[in-house]
Amino acid sequence: DQQVKQNSPSLSVQEGRISILNCDYTNSMFDYFLWYKKYPAEGPTFLISISSIKDKNEDGRFTVFLNKSAKHLSLHIVPSQPGDSAVYFCAASRRGSQGNLIFGKGTKLSVKP
Partner 1 sequence: DVKVTQSSRYLVKRTGEKVFLECVQDMDHENMFWYRQDPGLGLRLIYFSYDVKMKEKGDIPEGYSVSREKKERFSLILESASTNQTSMYLCASSLEALGNQPQHFGDGTRLSIL
Which residues in the chain belong to E strands, given as ranges? Answer: 4-5, 10-14, 19-25, 32-38, 45-51, 56-59, 62-67, 72-77, 86-93, 102-103, 107-112
Contact predicate 36/91, CB 8 Å: yes
Cα 29 to the center of its chain, rounded Å:
18
- Does 27 participate in binding partner 1 (rule CB under 8 A)? no
Question: Which of 12/45 has CB closer to partner 1?
Answer: 45
The DSSP bridge partners found for residue 94 are: none
Q: Which of 63, 106, 109, 111 binds partner 1 (CB under 8 A)?
A: 106
- Does 105 participate in binding partner 1 (rule CB under 8 A)? yes
- Does 46 participate in binding partner 1 (rule CB under 8 A)? yes
The DSSP bridge partners found for residue 108 are: 10, 87
Q: Which of 49, 57, 74, 110 binds partner 1 (CB under 8 A)?
A: 49
> Please, which of residues 67-96 interact with partner 1 by CB under 8 A?
89, 93, 95-96
Where do contacts with partner 1 occur on this chain (CB under 8 A)?
9, 31-32, 34, 36, 41-46, 49, 51, 89, 93, 95-96, 98-101, 103-106
